[in-house]
Structure 1
Amino acid sequence: MKKSNKIVIALFSIVIMYGCTHQSTNSDISKLNLKGKVKSIKEFSYTCKSKLIGDSVTYLKAERKREEIEEYYPEETSLNNDNILFFNEQGCIEKINLFTDGDIIFYNNRYEYDKDNKRITEYEYKYNSSKLAKISNYIYNDENLLKKKVIDNANGSPYGYIEYVYDDNDRKILTVGYRAGKGIIYKKNYKYDGNSNLIEFSLFHSFNDEYGSGDEGRRFTKERYKYDSNNNIISKNMIASGEKPWKTFAYQYDEQSNLIKVIETDTGHILGNGYVKEIDYLYTYDDKGNWVTQVKLEKKSPDFDTVYENGNFVKKEITPKKTPKYYIERSIEYYD
């Protein structure tokens, strides 16, 4: 069976939380669908403009984006900001910088590993600063699975911890987050198919709700996934309450398991205004087969525009057109 490449267009999702913490021999490099011995990778996003050259349309980067990129990716979580990742020679992430509002670093983490290349310590720094904010220590069970992540403030006082529970097949089935002085603040449940692909993820509300919303311990969201024969996610349903999805995603991939199309459908179940978005991703590649530019094209139905008529601004439905939304540029440095 072909190995799953579910993290296909980066902005580096689940690897950030669980990279190189499992007994698996797969490195963060392979989980990110990267080829070669990558030393660092930088992704910066820009607005995008199109230019007609002959009979062909070319897409060019324009201004640097200042906000987060909307998330359309299959994974449970995604970090959608400009970023720089640094890897050790074994392919595990050593350092992460995430940027906001241009070049301000709002997320700066560094990681240390043991002789078996398992993550053992995480250092989190303050917003746009070199001052340490938190230190996390990773604890493993006898089967070499991550058992507990203990988080302390820089002054040594406890911040909280996260516990992980596994089934008989070494698959994570429960994550419980604790905050010092508050107890349990969230729970995450995971279910799998026969190929050990995640098919259901559930997140439960804070169990210590300081705002008195009455939602303590209630399910906040549920996601369900389906896969193709290459173990790529081909559909995701997002469910807020009950079992009726309020938003669905369908995914298509190229032969290298890079995401090339997303169909997003908002059913109107929550907000009452349904829509369908069709998103295409275009790539260029370096000589190792890693993409170095990505263009996102989007078409939304129904689509609206505001026009000026008879002295008033009027919102009118228009014929949807596929337009460029952003341009991501990647710089990849290799060890070899």
Structure 2
Amino acid sequence: MKKRILSLLLFVFSAFLWGQSKNDTEKVGLKGKVKSVEITLYQAFEENGSVKKKAPLEQGIYDEFRLNQFRLLHRLGAIKHFVDFLGQIIPCYITYNQDGNITTLVAYPKTDREYHKSFQYKENQIIKQQTHDSEGTILEITSYEYDSQNRLTKEVFENKRNDGGVIWKYRYNDKNQITESDYYDIDGTWMGKEIYEYENGNLARKITRNDNGQPFVTASYTYNSEQKLIRIDFEAKNNFTHLSTFTYNENYLSEEKMLIGNDNGILTKYNNNQEITSQITLSTNEEIIFQYTYDDKENWITMTTFEFGKPSRIVERKIAYYP
């Protein structure tokens, strides 16, 4: 039953829980009135002292399996900023409306994994998201409902591939903070609950309970005197433990350390644009270096990664702007 719950949790990943006020361009750090973004990845190599690119790659920074693992941990409460940053880097073409929200996305174009997403809004709130394949066959539909205070109260995810899905219902306190979310199978069978506890106005704990009412995941949050998140302790019923710590340079996140078990983990470093500059695998001390070039809006348009001192990947972003 637990595996069934975890698979359902993967289907619905609500960004509103961790940043409801931002539009989609702000969530990914884009500046200016962005109209569209095209992302292409290439394998890189060095020749005569210059970094050059080979044919385009068909997958992103992370493969889908690993990305889904990270998304599940995030959904359960283990926030990872490096996943928010690197997880968006896949071969794709994205369009935005003038409010800065996504209207269409074509992922993995011209491959056997190609899929399309479309997004519908009402008064700047998303009300429907639909996924279809390259031939137009609908694969997934997610619909959203809000109350009179514009708070998300219900999500319905329908998996058209197998007639499965999940329903989420949300409740809030008088401070408009989410306090509970119940999730159901698409047939209405109750599957479990997420409970949110607050201290001094900050989220202190997130507890996920299974259909027996027993907690199987608990995430606890610690803040500094400036109310910035500095630590997440994550523990699952199967003795899986996970620790994340965050270090700041004034108002900017500068380091994020993720530890799984005793010595396995990743140290990620950021610049003041909140772009990754380095990732170190702690168990091996192997480091990936990230270098960027920028357009006149200060959005990065190329990212080059270096592993073992040699170029490994080039990411290009073609960004178009509204006049």
What TM-score do the two structures reach when normalised by structure 1? 0.65
Match of 2:296? 287
The 1-side partners of 2:34 and 2:270 are apart by 23
Deviation, structure 1 residue 224: 2.8
Given candidates 22, 25, 34, the residue that maps to 1:38 is: 34
1:234 aligns with 2:263: no
Q: How does 1:51-90 map to 2 (within 5 A)?
A: 51-53=47-49, 58-70=50-62, 74-75=81-82, 78-90=87-99
Q: How does 1:39-188 map to 2 (within 5 A)?
A: 39-53=35-49, 58-70=50-62, 74-75=81-82, 78-99=87-108, 103-115=111-123, 117-125=124-132, 127-152=133-158, 159-166=165-172, 169-172=175-178, 176-181=182-187, 183=189
The 2-side partners of 1:114 and 1:21 are apart by 21
The 2-side partners of 1:23 and 1:140 are apart by 13
- Judging changes above 3 Å, is the alpha-carbon distance between structure 1 residues 171 and 86 closer, same or farther for their aligned structure 2 residues? farther
Match of 2:15? 18
Match of 1:256? 273
Deviation digits for residues 126-176 of structure 1 (CA, Å, limit 9, x no counterpart): x43312233221012344222221123569x77321234556654556655
Structure 1: gaps spanning 5 or more residues: 1-15, 209-214, 266-273, 299-320
Structure 2: gaps spanning 5 or more residues: 1-12, 71-79, 218-235
* Structure that is richer in helix per residue: 2
Contact 1:21/1:145 (CA < 8 Å) preserved in 2?
Answer: no
Contact 1:68/1:80 (CA < 8 Å) preserved in 2?
Answer: yes
Deviation, structure 1 residue 49: 1.0
- Judging changes above 3 Å, is the alpha-carbon distance between structure 1 residues 183 and 296 closer, same or farther for their aligned structure 2 residues? farther
- Judging changes above 3 Å, is the alpha-carbon distance between structure 1 residues 88 and 263 closer, same or farther for their aligned structure 2 residues? same
**1:33 maps to amino acid:** G
Deviation, structure 1 residue 259: 1.7
The 2-side partners of 1:92 and 1:175 are apart by 25
The 1-side partners of 2:41 and 2:89 are apart by 10
- Judging changes above 3 Å, is the alpha-carbon distance between structure 1 residues 160 and 234 closer, same or farther for their aligned structure 2 residues? same
- Find the structure with the greater CA-based Rg: 1
Deviation digits for residues 35-82 of structure 1 (CA, Å, limit 9, x no counterpart): 1100110111110012344xxxx3222121133423797345635531
Contact 1:252/1:259 (CA < 8 Å) preserved in 2?
Answer: yes
- Judging changes above 3 Å, is the alpha-carbon distance between structure 1 residues 51 and 176 closer, same or farther for their aligned structure 2 residues? farther
Secondary structure of 1:232's aligned partner:
strand
Deviation, structure 1 residue 188: 6.2
The 1-side partners of 2:112 and 2:208 are apart by 30
Contact 1:20/1:119 (CA < 8 Å) preserved in 2?
Answer: no
Match of 1:324? 311
1:297 aligns with 2:317: no
* Percent identity (aligned): 23
Deviation, structure 1 residue 105: 4.7
Match of 2:322? 335
Contact 1:68/1:81 (CA < 8 Å) preserved in 2?
Answer: yes
Deviation, structure 1 residue 323: 2.2
- Judging changes above 3 Å, is the alpha-carbon distance between structure 1 residues 187 and 283 closer, same or farther for their aligned structure 2 residues? farther
The 1-side partners of 2:279 and 2:24 are apart by 24
Deviation digits for residues 198-229 of structure 1 (CA, Å, limit 9, x no counterpart): 8987878x869xxxxxx999466645342413
- Judging changes above 3 Å, is the alpha-carbon distance between structure 1 residues 150 and 49 closer, same or farther for their aligned structure 2 residues? same
**2:128 maps to amino acid:** T
Contact 1:159/1:179 (CA < 8 Å) preserved in 2?
Answer: yes
Deviation, structure 1 residue 182: 8.3
**2:81 maps to amino acid:** P
Contact 2:24/2:101 (CA < 8 Å) preserved in 1?
Answer: yes
Aligned residue pair count = 270
Match of 2:244? 224
Contact 2:95/2:104 (CA < 8 Å) preserved in 1?
Answer: yes
**1:43 maps to amino acid:** I
Contact 1:86/1:94 (CA < 8 Å) preserved in 2?
Answer: yes
